[in-house]
Copies of this chain bind each other. A is one copy, B any other.
Amino acid sequence: TISLVETEEGRILQEELGREVEDDKEAKPIYMVSDGTGWTAEHSVNAALGQFDHCLVDRGCPVNTHLFSGIDDVEKLVVIIKQAAREGAMLFYTLADPSMAASAKQACKLWGVPSTDILGPIIESISHHIGVSPSGIPRGAQGRKLHLTEEYFRRIEAIEFTIRQDDGALPRNLHKADLVLVGVSRTGKTPLSIYLAQMGYNVANIPIVLGVEMPRPLFEIASDKVFALTINPVILQAIRKARAKSLGFNDNTSSNYAEMAHVREELEFAGKLFAQNPVWPVIEVTGKAIEETAAIILRLYHDRKQQCSMPRISKRY
């Protein structure tokens, strides 16, 4: 392995700095390095960037992120950090091996790259809390043992179940679902179902269509697992228009799917159904990302099961 404080390295870098031409003059580069998948860094940086939406949406402060995953040796790390220095990037890292994390910090300091350890402080405080030292072994390390846990199989089965139950399919299986979502077309039932399935829930979704009766089993299963989705009619119409266009519907075949009068009538039809089933929570999805609606549904779902003073989702490790 090469030494990070070698002055020769520093000089080479200095020489290269002048020659490098930036691809994108405006956008500020953010580098993310992980010895694993990089999804933790990606997720955290993405959430943090939400705090700069006010200048990101109008491209007042454009940002480019660059994710480097599976970085498991110092050589690769150094190549990336030198590149970050050339591009004027900052660097976030998640590196389980303490010597790798120390190298990242040291190299960034040496080459003037602002850097932040994303996971180190979290691991450290858990270690202190539970009184156990972290392994320091990256997730992808050789010889790591495979844990084919029940949880793992359960999640895979949940995904397969949820695919089979999409869009009102196989209503006779509704009793096997943990969660049943109902709502008119384009309220996000499918992506929401899939999102929840990835977390291990068996989800079924059933479309509400104007004038069409809902399948009988919906009213025979436990009503506390049914969640109703609703949406602002103006937004819904906009979404449906976009969809009709992307599906290549012409005005004849799309019939009245995206017509305002029809949209309103269908939402009223749904509203009546919801009123007849007051146990179903009605969740407003307008302006919410899929993961936000998922959070609301799971909060209600777990709250009903646990009856804690403050809704929470608990997990055992």
> A residues within 8 Å of B by Cβ?
27-28, 30, 36-40, 43-45, 47-57, 61-70, 76, 79-80, 83, 90, 92, 94, 96, 114, 116, 118-119, 121-123, 125-132, 134-137, 139-140, 144-148, 152-153, 155-157, 159-160, 163, 166, 188, 190-191, 194-195, 197-198, 235, 238-239, 242, 246, 286-287, 289, 291-292, 294-296, 299, 309-317
What's the minimum C-beta distance from A218 to chain B, rounded to whole angstroms? 21
A163–B162 Cα distance when bound, in Å, is 10
What's the minimum C-beta distance from A274 to chain B, rounded to whole angstroms? 22
**Sampled A-B contacts (15; CB under 8 Å):** A36-B47, A37-B295, A38-B313, A47-B94, A49-B317, A51-B137, A56-B317, A61-B131, A65-B317, A83-B310, A90-B126, A146-B235, A148-B238, A160-B190, A191-B198
Tell me how many chains of this kind the complex includes.
Answer: 2
Contact partner, A139, options B30, B153, B188, B292, Cβ 8 Å: B292
A44-B119, A48-B126, A116-B121 known; 11 other A-B pairs, CB under 8 Å? A36-B292, A39-B43, A39-B291, A48-B123, A51-B96, A51-B123, A51-B126, A66-B314, A68-B312, A146-B287, A148-B238
A44–B92 Cα distance when bound, in Å, is 14
What's the minimum C-beta distance from A141 to chain B, rounded to whole angstroms? 11
CB distance B194 to A159 under 8 Å?
yes
A68-B311, A129-B90, A317-B64 in contact; A145/B76 too (CB < 8 A)?
A: no
Q: B residues within 8 A CB of A116?
A: 121-122, 125
What's the minimum C-beta distance from A86 to chain B, rounded to whole angstroms? 11
A37-B291, A129-B114 in contact; A316/B159 too (CB < 8 A)?
A: no
Q: B residues within 8 A CB of A36?
A: 47, 292, 295
Q: B residues within 8 A CB of A155?
A: 191
Q: B residues within 8 A CB of A53?
A: 135
Contact partner, A194, options B140, B198, B242, Cβ 8 Å: B198
What's the minimum C-beta distance from A205 to chain B, rounded to whole angstroms? 11
With CB as the reference atom, state the residue of chain B lying closest to A116. Answer: B125
CB distance B57 to A135 under 8 Å?
no
Contact partner, A148, options B45, B94, B239, B309, Cβ 8 Å: B239
Contact partner, A129, options B28, B239, B289, B317, Cβ 8 Å: B28
With CB as the reference atom, state the residue of chain B lying closest to A243. Answer: B153
A76–B28 Cα distance when bound, in Å, is 37
Q: B residues within 8 A CB of A125?
A: 90, 92, 114, 116
